[in-house]
Amino acid sequence: MDTTIVLIGVNHKTAPVEIREKLGASKNAEEILLHLTQFSPLKEILFLSTCNRVEILFTSRMPKSGIEMVKKFLAEFNQVPLSQFESSLYIYQQAEAVQHLFRVASSLDSMVVGEPQILGQIKDAYRLALKHRTAGPILNRLLHKAFSVAKRIRTETKLAHHAVSVSYAAVEMAKKIFGHLEDKKILLIGAGEMAELAVQHLLNNGVESITVANRTLERAIELAERFKGKPISFEERIEALGTVDIVISSTGASHFVIHYEDVKQVMRKRRHKPIFFIDIAVPRDIDPEINQLDNAYVYDIDDLQSVVELNRAKREKEARKAERIVEEETIKFQRWLETLDVVPTIIALKHKLEEIRHKELNKTFSHLKHLSEEDKKAIYIMTEAMIKKILHDPIKFLKQKEDREKIEVYLDITRRLFNLDASEEMQDRGYHSKK
Amino acid sequence: MYSFYQLALVGYIFSLVFFFINLFSAREFVRRIATFALLGSFVVHTVGFILNWAQYGHFPILGIKSSLSFVAWLLALIYLILFLRFGLTILGTFFTPLIVLLMLISRIVPGLAEPPPNVFKSFWLSLHIGLSLIGDGLLAVAFCAGIMYLVQERQIKRKKLTGILQRLPSLSFLDTLNYHALILGFMMLTLGLLTGALYAQWIKGRFWNWDPKEVWSVITWLVYAVLIHQRLTVGWRGRQAAWLSIIGFCFLLFTFLGVNYLLHSYHRFG
């Protein structure tokens, strides 16, 4: 088999953000993909670009020149000298490329391992490839397989269950208290990167509204605009406790900004509805004594950090399980790839028809007991000849096209027409029709 | 029939063991075994009931043995419904001990298997007992939810994040389950008391006979009434509600079992 699967890319581990952003902003993904189709050595192409990675996946009969062209294109198109990023590039071929894609799709290669967004981003990239017809039989199958590997890992391991950043941990604890967050209201006191990240995660989980309190009302208004929330003055924060469910506090104050008595009084007004305080500030903003009140929960940064630590250990265990699944599926894919060649396909085709012939002969002979050995032999030879004649043209066709560009398409159609691959693997094709 | 009950008991115990294994090492096949064991036992249990029904000609809940067994059956049913609706196998760890306990008591307690004197063949009596038992079953669910709530709340408050925390449902789910089980259970209990009083009026000519079971039933009813009142008006919820539903259930158990054996009551079975 001469067609090679190649993956070239940079990710958050190999390249700093300055390089990643130069190499591919997701805005012009379509443009880049169209440029790539101009290069004749590249047959099937997928272009994936997220904030943590830029990857080009392609198949080629001339992988070497393909790789060089892509490198040169990246440098020219983005106007960055190749020398600046060449050392950050990773280039994988065949099984390694397959394995890498499976790892990326199942979020094993992500900055936050287990985060689910990446799969959606790959699906978008694939949709783009479908739109411009740059995905052929190999990439189609590879991508579908990648989606099913990601799904398998999601159901068989708990990779995604273990939040490993403070802000994720905060969301996880909120879910332990409230179940779902859809109708919850949050109050953000102060500002700060980690607090804003936590707010963003909560918003992604569908919280209903956000109120922002800040010492300077101007800053409150600015933050509120960003999160589409409501600004209030710092003094109104205690009053706001009556209606919100989650409080994230991150001020630079040197003393508590919410005291035990404040919350104790407000709980009656809240009809004892649970309230969750996330204290990200150091020194702390929320009196830890509040945790003693019924239906009030206080987690400070250290508490959240211990959730993270606990999750990290668990996640590593789950990641090992996931890596095993990736390896397993890579081997399976490799096996399929090997069959996507003229000779194995012809053998499989012959084998399939021979099998049918034998089965049917046995059935017929067991009914027609009166046939003599000679008759049987004649029928035997006749069916053999039939099969040969039937196969003659298709085999000739495949052999003729062996060196053509489109041979994978013909092989793929042949294999599907006669159902030569295990039926288990055919199920993965559902993605096409659902789209 | 009793072989059916025994088989169901064995199945429930089997399921209980696997639900506890699941607590310490969560694996899909362990959960599957536990759930299927419970489902199988439930089916066997149901068959036992139907055969009993056919034999006695009335719904078999009049003897203490069969009424305990009926409550266990109800709990298994409620668990299966919750499982289908929410897919939470962890609830099984809290339901199965109660189911097994009820089945065991039902086997051990003295008392005729199913006394069919004529007085018991009344529709009203069956209704009285049936409603009360359904109420008991639902309040047992509230009890389970209360215990789970306290376990989960303790872990969240103490910030001790063991594996169980990861798998117990959220506080809000447990509190809601407690609330719904409580409201429904209380309604059933109330209807049970009312039909009992009507039946007493009809048979004895008096609504109220100062029978220990009646007195204790009303006390239990009052405990639950206070809880519901506090929930609805003051907004008691969470830990307080969980504790009160546990206390209420202790009263319920005493009324159900204690009164029969410790105090003299015409309510005693058989």
A175, A291, A294: residue with CB nearest B240 = A294
- Residue A433: per-residue pLDDT: 38
With beta carbons less than 8 A apart as the criterion, state whether A311 and A291 touch.
no
**Residues A252, A189 share a domain:** yes
Gap from B226 CA to chain A (nearest CA, Å): 17
Q: What CA–CA distance (Å, rounded) separates A365 from A50?
A: 63
Report the DSSP beta bridge partners of residue A248: A188, A278
**Residues A357, A244 share a domain:** no
Domain presence at residue A320:
no
Task: Count Cα atoms within 13 angstroms, Cβ side, for A51.
Answer: 3
Instruction: Please indicate whether, in this complex, the C-beta atoms of A179 and B240 are within 8 angstroms of each other.
Output: no
CA distances to A10, A95, A119, A252 from A92, in Å: 11, 8, 20, 48
User: Greater confidence, B231 or A430?
Assistant: B231
Q: Is the pLDDT of residue A145 over 80?
A: yes
Q: Is B234's Cβ below 8 Å from some Cβ in A?
A: yes
**Residues B266, B135 share a domain:** yes
Give me the number of domains chain A comprises.
Answer: 3
Rounded (to 5) percent helix, strand, coil in chain A: 60, 15, 25
**Residues A389, A274 share a domain:** no
Kindly state the tokens that stand for A317.
């265990």
**Residues B158, B213 share a domain:** yes
Residue type, A30: E
Angle in degrees, 0-180, between the axes of helices A166-178 and B171-204, rounded to the nearest 10: 10
Kindly state the tokens that stand for A367.
């009914």
**Residues B178, B154 share a domain:** yes
Instruction: Please indicate whether, in this complex, the C-beta atoms of A179 and B166 are within 8 angstroms of each other.
Output: no
Residue type, B38: L
Chain B CB contacts of A295 below 8 Å:
237-239
Provide mean pLDDT across the span A268-287: 88
A51 tagged catalytic: yes
Question: SS3 of A231, please?
Answer: strand
Q: Is the pLDDT of residue B113 over 70?
A: no
Q: Which of residues 142-161 of B touch A (CB under 8 A)?
A: 152, 156-157, 159, 161
CA distances to B28, B38, B205 from A40, in Å: 49, 63, 101
Q: Is the pLDDT of residue B268 over 60?
A: no
Q: What is the DSSP string of A337-349?
A: HHHSSHHHHHHHH
Instruction: Please indicate whether, in this complex, the C-beta atoms of A303 and B159 are within 8 angstroms of each other.
Output: yes
Domain presence at residue A44:
yes
The runs of H, that is alpha helices, within A117-254 are 117-131, 137-156, 166-178, 193-204, 217-227, 237-240
**Residues B133, B112 share a domain:** no
- Residue A147: per-residue pLDDT: 92
Confidence of residue B183 (pLDDT cuts 50, 70, 90): very high
- Residue A1: per-residue pLDDT: 46
Phi and psi at A221, nearest 5°, equal -65, -40
Q: Is the pLDDT of residue A63 over 60?
A: yes
Residue B101: which domain range? 1-116
Instruction: Please indicate whether, in this complex, the C-beta atoms of B170 and A291 are within 8 angstroms of each other.
Output: no
- The overall average pLDDT reported for chain B is 82
Q: Is the pLDDT of residue B56 over 90?
A: no
Boundary residue ending a domain (B99, B116, B133): B116
Phi-psi region of A112 (alpha: psi -120 to 50; beta: other; left: phi over 0): beta
Q: Is the pLDDT of residue B226 over 80?
A: yes
With beta carbons less than 8 A apart as the criterion, state whether A402 and A61 touch.
no
Domain presence at residue A31:
yes
B190-215 tens-digit pLDDT: 999 898 888 888 777 777 777 777 88
A6-51 tens-digit pLDDT: 999 888 888 877 777 777 655 578 888 888 888 888 888 999 888 7
Q: How many CB pairs under 8 A join A and B?
A: 50
- If you ran DSSP here, which 8-state letter would residue A370 be given? T
- Residue A429: per-residue pLDDT: 44
Instruction: Please indicate whether, in this complex, the C-beta atoms of A294 and B235 are within 8 angstroms of each other.
Output: no
Chain B CB contacts of A273 below 8 Å:
235, 237
Chain A CB contacts of B169 below 8 Å:
179
Residue A141: which domain range? 4-161
Gap from A150 CA to chain B (nearest CA, Å): 18
Q: Is the pLDDT of residue A423 over 80?
A: no
Residue in chain B closest to A299 (alpha carbons) equals: B159
- Residue A424: per-residue pLDDT: 43
Angle in degrees, 0-180, between the axes of helices B64-86 and B123-158, rounded to the nearest 10: 50
- The overall average pLDDT reported for chain A is 85
Q: Is B236's Cβ below 8 Å from some Cβ in A?
A: yes
Domain presence at residue A231:
yes
- Residue A100: per-residue pLDDT: 93
**Residues B129, B259 share a domain:** yes
Radius of gyration, alpha carbons of chain A: 30
- Residue A119: per-residue pLDDT: 87
Confidence of residue A117 (pLDDT cuts 50, 70, 90): confident
**Residues B49, B95 share a domain:** yes
Q: What CA–CA distance (Å, rounded) separates B241 from B235?
A: 10
Instruction: Please indicate whether, in this complex, the C-beta atoms of B156 and A272 are within 8 angstroms of each other.
Output: no
Residue type, A29: A
CA distances to A98, A146, A329, A354, A409 from A103, in Å: 9, 8, 11, 40, 27
With beta carbons less than 8 A apart as the criterion, state whether A111 and A15 touch.
no
**Residues B265, B218 share a domain:** yes
Domain presence at residue A332:
no
Q: Taking the alpha carbons of A280, A281, A286, A288 in that order, is the dihedral positive or negative?
A: positive
Give me the number of domains chain B comprises.
Answer: 2
Phi and psi at B191, nearest 5°, equal -60, -40
Q: What CA–CA distance (Å, rounded) separates B156 from A177?
A: 8
**Residues A395, A359 share a domain:** yes
Domain presence at residue A321:
no
Boundary residue ending a domain (B59, B88, B116): B116
What percentage of chain B reaches a pLDDT higher than 90? 20
- Residue B2: per-residue pLDDT: 64
- Residue A78: per-residue pLDDT: 81
Strands A53-60 and A246-250, bridge-based pairing: unpaired
With beta carbons less than 8 A apart as the criterion, state whether A349 and A114 touch.
no
Instruction: Please indicate whether, in this complex, the C-beta atoms of B156 and A177 are within 8 angstroms of each other.
Output: yes
Instruction: Please indicate whether, in this complex, the C-beta atoms of B236 and A306 are within 8 angstroms of each other.
Output: no
**Residues A196, A62 share a domain:** no
User: Greater confidence, A433 or B30?
Assistant: B30
Q: Is the pLDDT of residue A163 over 70?
A: no
B171, B234, B237: residue with CB nearest A176 = B171
**Residues A176, A51 share a domain:** no
Q: What CA–CA distance (Å, rounded) separates B116 from B96?
A: 30
**Residues A298, A397 share a domain:** no
Q: Could you say which of A51, A348, A353, A379 is catalytic?
A: A51
Q: What CA–CA distance (Å, rounded) separates A279 from A285?
A: 6
**Residues A170, A246 share a domain:** yes
- Residues of chain A contacting B, Cβ within 8 Å: 161, 173, 175-179, 270-274, 291, 294-295, 297, 299, 303, 306-307, 310
CA distances to A125, A143, A145, A434 from A431, in Å: 14, 10, 10, 5
Least confident of A73-77, A400-404, B257-261: B257-261
Q: Is the pLDDT of residue B186 over 90?
A: yes
CATH code for the domain in which residue A43 is found: 3.30.460.30
Which residues, other chains included, contact B55 with Cβ-Cβ below 8 Å and sequence gap of 6+?
Answer: B1
Confidence of residue B26 (pLDDT cuts 50, 70, 90): low
Instruction: Please indicate whether, in this complex, the C-beta atoms of B156 and A294 are within 8 angstroms of each other.
Output: no
**Residues B165, B112 share a domain:** no
Residue B146 C-alpha from the chain's centroid: 13
B58-85 tens-digit pLDDT: 777 767 777 888 889 989 999 899 888 8
Q: Is the pLDDT of residue B184 over 90?
A: yes
Most confident range (mean pLDDT) of A295-309, A331-345, B1-15 is A295-309
Report the DSSP beta bridge partners of residue A210: A186
A170-229 tens-digit pLDDT: 888 899 899 888 889 999 998 887 888 888 888 888 888 899 999 888 888 988 998 889
Angle in degrees, 0-180, between the axes of helices B171-204 and B123-158, rounded to the nearest 10: 160
Boundary residue ending a domain (B95, B116, B137): B116
Q: Is the pLDDT of residue A411 over 90?
A: no
Instruction: Please indicate whether, in this complex, the C-beta atoms of B156 and A175 are within 8 angstroms of each other.
Output: no
**Residues B210, B101 share a domain:** no
Q: What CA–CA distance (Å, rounded) separates A4 from B67?
A: 72
**Residues A13, A130 share a domain:** yes
CATH code for the domain in which residue A213 is found: 3.40.50.720
Chain A CB contacts of B156 below 8 Å:
173, 176-177, 297
- Residue A121: per-residue pLDDT: 87
**Residues B195, B69 share a domain:** no
Kindly state the tokens that stand for A411.
């092989």
- Residue A337: per-residue pLDDT: 83
B170, B238, B239: residue with CB nearest A176 = B170
Q: Is the pLDDT of residue A425 over 50?
A: no
Domain presence at residue A327:
no
Gap from B155 CA to chain A (nearest CA, Å): 11
- Residue A369: per-residue pLDDT: 83
- Sheet with A42-49: strands ordered across: A42-49, A53-60, A4-11, A90-93
Provide mean pLDDT across the span B111-135: 70
Confidence of residue A357 (pLDDT cuts 50, 70, 90): very high
Q: What CA–CA distance (Å, rounded) separates A14 from A86?
A: 10
Q: Is the pLDDT of residue A428 over 50?
A: no
**Residues A275, A392 share a domain:** no
A175, A271, A306: residue with CB nearest B159 = A306
Q: Is the pLDDT of residue B263 over 80?
A: no
**Residues B219, B130 share a domain:** yes
- Residue A169: per-residue pLDDT: 84
Angle in degrees, 0-180, between the axes of helices A342-367 and A301-339, rounded to the nearest 10: 70
- Residue B111: per-residue pLDDT: 60
**Residues B174, B251 share a domain:** yes
A282-329 tens-digit pLDDT: 788 999 999 999 899 999 888 888 888 877 787 888 888 889 999 999
**Residues A216, A134 share a domain:** no
Boundary residue ending a domain (A108, A138, A161): A161
**Residues A95, A181 share a domain:** no
Domain presence at residue A317:
no
Q: Is the pLDDT of residue B270 over 50?
A: no
